[in-house]
Amino acid sequence: MSIATVPREPLNERQRAETEMFSLQLIANVRIIDLNPPPIGKETVHKTIESQHMKVHIKVQNFGPIEEAAIELRPLTVFVGESNTGKTYLAALIYALHKHFEGFSQFPWVYTSDFFLALVSSPLNRCLQNQQAGLGEEIFAAFEKFNRPGYPFKFSDLPPHIRTLLESELTDKEGFEDELKRCFDLESVSKLIRFTGGGGNEMKVSLRVCEGNQKRWTFEAQDTGVGTTVGGHINPDIVLRSADEAVLPETSEVRDVLKILRASKEEAENSYYLPAARSGIMQSRGVITSSLIKRATRIGLEHSPEMSTLSGMIADFLEELIHYKERNRSSQRINSIATALEDELLRGEIEVQRPAPEAYPEFLYRPQKVEEALRMSHSSAMVSELAPLVLFLRGIVQPGDVLIIEEPESHLHPVAQTKIAHILARLVQAGVRVVITTHSHWLLQQIGNLIREGELRKQGESTRESADWLAKEQVGTWWFSVDKPVTEIPFDLIGGIEPLDYLDIATDLYNRSAGLQNRLEDAKGDNGLESE
């Protein structure tokens, strides 16, 4: 008996919107179990948003495949778009800048600035006898301001020669060049000048770090192919110690001043890069020793230029694994995220074993309710892809750190991809700044749902869909395309944070399917065949 089939027509604009909403509703039903969901209200949401990191703005021109980009790092920064358009290049630049400046803090090198102040770390009476004209008086004036009750001690209150010394480091191009060459595995920074299509012949990189609406410090670099020039500036109005902070006993040591200034700051920021193809790296890393890792970057390779080299990110990633050791200072909240990742996605545990105390660690996977653990080479690609993330969360990453993950959805089923969105949201709320590159429609849709959840909570409501949420201010999504400037995708209540061409692709596929099915029905009718 022939079964009648209604011909499918191409989608119109209204149908496209309805299809999108239906798809969003399906994704919203995929949930991740929350172990201890905290009660979150309107006030808590706003406080969480306000207590996030420094604002970081990065601009590039003619950088690798990128014609032009201007981004602001958010607690969750998402790079999406076509392949070979520069997503990894910009992610690697973020890593290189963070490594070079030891974080995006209130001013560069804030946690090791005592090195720069070593020249004037002697007691005040010795400084007063210094032969440099006016040096003692400058330091005495700085101490007087520092010990003044109710006075906000600013960067401009430091002795002029110390300010000059600190700012001069921003114009030290060698360190910046070396970090770029290390991270990108290049013999010359000029190799990064845009190498696809047309465009100019001058590469530009700029970094601006702000707190609220106040600019803290800036850095700029240019390269025209004949060498790199750099510059920078620290805002003299940066408050190093606010007026309401308690005045400690009078001090006459410049080094004591620095220690006091640092005492109120958070721990130093670290950055970590989880490269693509983690599965292959995890299965082969056992054959690489730490000495080879240190020689594998171009900067560390002095006597064997003919050897193949690794990018700095992969070398750093491997070195963290080879010397892996769970730290006592690990954050309990971040550890719980690692546990949820194991329970909800891996359905098993990642174990660390050492044949001897000084031996390199061996990473194994023990499925739930199974006695014998498996080597990574015997585990699924999903397990070996996610195992490094579990390990980094369990023993390395801390609140305040930057975690860059290339394609966190790699080798994951669509349901697992949506659960990764929950993991990212939890990391953001735990104080980790996360940067990802992705091609996943499912991951982006679920991030959009978590933003909708956050917007409801800002209004004092909860949908009970999930204990996880993101505010739209916490998420920045940037679209990369061939021979076009990088553009931000603003959050849309209906479209979320997905690129428009994702829906275009889905519509084209649907229309193609509808057309082929209709032709098949017509062909069967013409040949007198029954439809199945």
Residue-wise pLDDT tens digits, 356-411: 877 788 899 999 988 899 988 888 999 999 999 999 999 899 999 999 999 999 99
Quick check: 322 pLDDT over 60? yes
Quick check: 51 pLDDT over 70? no
Q: Contact, 93 vs 63, CB < 8 A?
A: yes
pLDDT at position 120 is: 39
In a domain, 528, yes or no: no
107 token code pair: 């001013």
Residues 214-243: what's their mean pLDDT?
A: 89
Residues 518-528: what's their mean pLDDT?
A: 81
The pTM assigned to this predicted structure is 0.83
Residues 417, 485 within the same domain: yes
Is 357 or 51 the better-scoring residue by pLDDT? Answer: 357
Q: Contact, 426 vs 337, CB < 8 A?
A: yes
pLDDT at position 69 is: 97
pLDDT at position 32 is: 42
Q: Contact, 268 vs 399, CB < 8 A?
A: no
Residues 163, 307 within the same domain: no
Is 305 or 151 the better-scoring residue by pLDDT? Answer: 151
Domain boundary among 215, 239, 263: 263
In a domain, 531, yes or no: no
Quick check: 439 pLDDT over 90? yes
Q: How far apart are alpha carbons 475 and 214 in whole angstroms?
A: 21
pLDDT at position 293 is: 53
Residues 425-433: what's their mean pLDDT?
A: 96
Q: Contact, 330 vs 324, CB < 8 A?
A: no
pLDDT at position 294 is: 57
Is 292 or 19 the better-scoring residue by pLDDT? Answer: 292
CATH (domain of 34) = 3.40.50.300
Residues 293, 425 within the same domain: yes
Q: Among 130-134, 238-242, 494-498, 508-512, which stretch is predicted with the lowest mean pLDDT?
A: 130-134
Residues 210, 173 within the same domain: yes
- Indicate the pairing of strand 271-274 with strand 402-406: parallel
pLDDT band at 259 (very low <50, low <70, confident <90, very high): low
Residues 219, 252 within the same domain: yes
pLDDT at position 89 is: 97
Residues 385, 473 within the same domain: yes
Total domains in the chain come to 2
Report how far apart, in Å, the C-alpha atoms of 430 and of each of 109, 325, 402, 437 are: 24, 21, 12, 20
Residues 154-177: what's their mean pLDDT?
A: 83
Q: How far apart are alpha carbons 405 and 76 in whole angstroms?
A: 11
pLDDT band at 14 (very low <50, low <70, confident <90, very high): very low
Residues 222, 299 within the same domain: no
In a domain, 387, yes or no: yes
Residues in CB range of 464: below 8 A, 6 or more apart? none
pLDDT at position 349 is: 95
Is 268 or 375 the better-scoring residue by pLDDT? Answer: 375
Residues 468, 324 within the same domain: yes
Q: How far apart are alpha carbons 506 and 125 in whole angstroms?
A: 75
80 token code pair: 């999406």
Q: Give the 3-state secondary structure of 375-422.
A: EHHHCCHHHHHHHHHHHHHHHCCCCCCEEEEECCCCCCCHHHHHHHHH
Q: How far apart are alpha carbons 254 and 159 in whole angstroms?
A: 10
- Indicate the pairing of strand 66-73 with strand 55-63: antiparallel
Range of the domain at 461: 29-104+269-498
pLDDT band at 209 (very low <50, low <70, confident <90, very high): very high
CA atoms lying within 13 Å on the CB side of residue 179: 15
Residue 521: what are its φ and ψ, rounded to 5°? Answer: -60, -40
pLDDT over 90 for what percent of the chain? 43
Residues 328, 206 within the same domain: no
pLDDT band at 10 (very low <50, low <70, confident <90, very high): very low
Q: How far apart are alpha carbons 146 and 248 in whole angstroms?
A: 9
Q: Among 16-20, 433-437, 473-477, which stretch is predicted with the lowest mean pLDDT?
A: 16-20
Report how far apart, in Å, the C-alpha atoms of 497 and of each of 28, 72, 510 are: 15, 16, 21
Average pLDDT, the chain: 79
In a domain, 464, yes or no: yes
Residues 198, 347 within the same domain: no
pLDDT at position 8 is: 40
pLDDT band at 530 (very low <50, low <70, confident <90, very high): low
Quick check: 166 pLDDT over 60? yes
Q: Contact, 498 vs 444, CB < 8 A?
A: yes
Quick check: 178 pLDDT over 70? yes
Residues 342, 426 within the same domain: yes
Residues 131, 96 within the same domain: no
- Radius of gyration for the alpha carbons in the chain, expressed in angstroms and rounded: 27
161 token code pair: 């020669």
Q: How far apart are alpha carbons 265 and 268 in whole angstroms?
A: 8
In a domain, 493, yes or no: yes
* Residue carrying the six token digits 């963070």: 98
Quick check: 503 pLDDT over 70? yes
The SS3 assignment for 229 reads: strand
